[in-house]
Amino acid sequence: MTFRNGLSSLLRPEDSVLVLIDHQPFQLANVNSHDPHMVVNHATALAKAAKAYGVPTILTSVIADRGGLLFPQITDVFPGQEVIDRTFINTWEDRKVVDAVKATGRKQLIIAGLYTEICVAMPVIQALGEGWDVTVITDACGAFSVEAHQVAIQRMIAAGANMMTWLALVSEWQRDHARTAHVAEFVDLLKNHAAGLGIAFLWEQQLLNTPVPGKAR
């Protein structure tokens, strides 16, 4: 096994590309590994973070006329962007998706979707075999059962994938508190999607009488 360590292994927004897979009503209705509300919240936070940090994001669904359109919370982040609708269960067998990823020139491939054990595991394992540096955002995924989610994660780790949660990813993209370019967006993500952490931050600012960074535009 090749160990993932060292500074160069950390994710950087300028090298990242995000693929969001099948965040659709039919799939969400059958998620039993997570609270569905949390899946929507985390996937939305991930989409907003990618937009804030300038990370190209590919949106894809499977047979949307039957499974439903992608969550509006996600597509609203990227108004007017094409959603690539597939017939392939394995996203990485769809040339349109792969070509869109390759066109970004990015090497750090980040994936989240429904279900973890099917529509996430298959493209992750294939992309790893083709030499991609792949990270799965586990809390923006969901599976048919807790066991299915856990087994899928184990399977992808064994294949060489990196596992993270959405807030860990955003923190890694931010990396340095002295980088102020995205502070407003970062704070908005905490306030709107990190629950207690975001509220605690606002409380801290109140107690310290410190201005809260302006709302992201």
Half-sphere exposure of 119 (CA within 13 A, CB side): 28
What pLDDT does 2 receive?
66
Kindly state whether residue 205 falls inside one of the protein's structural domains: no
Strand ranges inside 67-197, DSSP E: 83-86, 108-113, 133-137, 162-164
Kindly state whether residue 7 falls inside one of the protein's structural domains: no
Kindly state whether residue 189 falls inside one of the protein's structural domains: no
What pLDDT does 66 receive?
95
Domain CATH code at residue 98? 3.40.50.850
**Is the confidence at residue 117, as pLDDT, over 80?**
yes
Kindly state whether residue 194 falls inside one of the protein's structural domains: no
Taking residues 174-189, report their average pLDDT: 87
**Is the confidence at residue 216, as pLDDT, over 60?**
no
Kindly state whether residue 134 falls inside one of the protein's structural domains: yes
Q: For the chain, how many structural domains are there in total?
A: 1
81 burial level (CB within 10 Å; 0-12, 13-18, 19+) = exposed
Taking residues 144-161, report their average pLDDT: 98
d(CA 100, CA 110): 14
What pLDDT does 171 receive?
94
What pLDDT does 197 receive?
78
Kindly state whether residue 207 falls inside one of the protein's structural domains: no
pLDDT tens by residue, 88-108:
999 999 999 999 999 999 999
What pLDDT does 217 receive?
45
Kindly state whether residue 201 falls inside one of the protein's structural domains: no
CB atoms within 10 A of CB 16: 24
Kindly state whether residue 80 falls inside one of the protein's structural domains: yes
Catalytic-residue membership of 119: yes
Distances (CA, A) of 28 to 132, 144, 145, 213: 28, 9, 12, 34
Active-site residue, selected from the candidate residues 119, 120, 124, 167: 119
The rounded mean pLDDT for the chain is: 93
Which structural domain, as residue segments, surrounds residue 120?
Answer: 14-175
pTM: 0.91
Q: What is the largest CA-CA distance in the chain?
A: 54
